[in-house]
Amino acid sequence: RVLDPLPGETLVDVCAAPGGKLLYSCMRMQNNGRIVAWDSHAGRLRLAEKSATVTGCSIAEFVVEDGTDPSADARSVRADRVLVDAPCTGLGVLSRRPDLRWRRTASDIDELALLQDRLLDSACALIRPGGLLVYSTCTIEPEENEQRVEAFLARHGEFEVESAASFVPHHLLTRHGFYASLPHRDGIDGAFAARLRKRA
């Protein structure tokens, strides 16, 4: 809902596998437009492609691509919207993934923050003037969420935060206009999303 893809648009989903957000986007776009789905894991991307076939999503193109260092062909795409649903610590989904309590360390956050920054820096080059970049995670750690957005904006002055107020319930909106759900407060998985608009 924060991405709000529209029929006829071009969308790039940078970390597309396993494909849930891609399929929802296709539905929101009424299977009209173009979705370019990247993922660096070929096997997981095949699962997303299979799901698209089963559900009748015919506008998606699936490309094995490293979102941190895309090929020249991949970099030539100009999109209306780009989704970076970034790899993260997953600490917002501990109720479903209790194993993460023992598998994550403090150093994981630092390593993932570097990856998240690289994904954002690559993705923003795909967006046409006036287009939208959405950065999302399934963690509640500020180092992976708000701080990544702040760092991105410091590097890319051509982008600005656009409030998600029109797309999510008010109680899931931060004072900066980001979407943020907290398991203990909202009774759902913890997640984060920011709308970043490229100035025309």
**45, 67 contact by CB (below 8 A):** no
Count of residues in the chain: 200
Unique residue bearing structure tokens 């299977």? 31
Distance CA 148, CA 163 (A): 16
Q: Is 15 a catalytic residue?
A: no
Distance CA 181, CA 174 (A): 9
Distance CA 97, CA 78 (A): 36
- Would you give the end-to-end CA distance of the chain in angstroms? 23
Contact residues for 171 (Cβ-Cβ < 8 A; gap 6+): 186
Pick the catalytic residue from 57, 88, 124, 138: 138
Catalytic annotation, residues? 138
